[in-house]
Amino acid sequence: MVTLLGNRQDRTPAPVAFQRLPLPGFPATLCPPFMRILNRYLFNNLLHPLVYLIVAFTLLFIIGDLMDNASDFLEAGTGPLAMAYYYTLRLPSMVIMIVPLCLLLAVLYSLSTLTRHSEITAMRASGISIYRIVRPYMLMSIACLLFTAVVNEYTGPKFAYRAEKFVENQKHTEEEVYYEQIAFKNPAARHIW
């Protein structure tokens, strides 16, 4: 049976350049299955650039910090595993600064891509409110806000303290003795330092 579109078996698939392929290391969709198709599409359209930007800015911060501290690492004789440990400890403090910037750039990129392909116009023409279009972006921004707040409150200070101790241990030799968090009492002046 021949249809107006021709035999379906005669069609060749679209070239690979025009197919939407999943990103390496990511499943095709990163959304829960109960999410609506439009929300899933907008969420994925935002999440992929966000992940790439976080990785890129983290690497830039690490490279910049490595350029500043390379001489200190070489003087102390720090090996590559110790440097990797140090930058793992510095990661939460980097994420606190990086995530808001990356979220802003990812939202701008995602919305400009949707605008360039007239997808926002098509959504508005089909009767979808602007609030429904913006909802995935707002949910992602709230999730990033909560994530950075938790990291900033709980894990960031602990890891920053460990990174500082690691640097101090690399700089000091075993012969040097230093004390910290010691209270000095002066009963005559009634002061405690």
Task: Summarize pLDDT for 11-58 with one digit per residue, the tens.
Answer: 555 444 444 555 555 555 555 556 678 888 898 899 999 999 999 999
Q: Burial of 65 by CB count in 10 Å (0-12 exposed, 13-18 middle, 19+ buried)? A: middle
- DSSP strand E in the chain: where? 185-186, 191-192
118 within domain boundaries = yes
| pLDDT classification of 74: cutoffs 50, 70, 90 | confident
183 within domain boundaries = no
71 within domain boundaries = no
Average pLDDT, the chain: 81
- What is residue 107's predicted lDDT score, i.e. its pLDDT? 96
Range of the domain at 121: 34-64+78-163
Number of alpha carbons in the 13 Å side-chain half-sphere of residue 117: 8
How far apart CA 118 and CA 110 sit, in angstroms, is 12
How far apart CA 105 and CA 122 sit, in angstroms, is 23
29 within domain boundaries = no
pTM of the complete model: 0.69
23 within domain boundaries = no
Domain count across the chain: 1
Q: Burial of 82 by CB count in 10 Å (0-12 exposed, 13-18 middle, 19+ buried)? A: middle
179 within domain boundaries = no
Out of 27-31, 42-46, 160-164, 188-192, least confident range: 27-31
**Distances from the Cα of 22 to the Cα of 19, 44, 64, 115, angstroms:** 10, 10, 31, 22
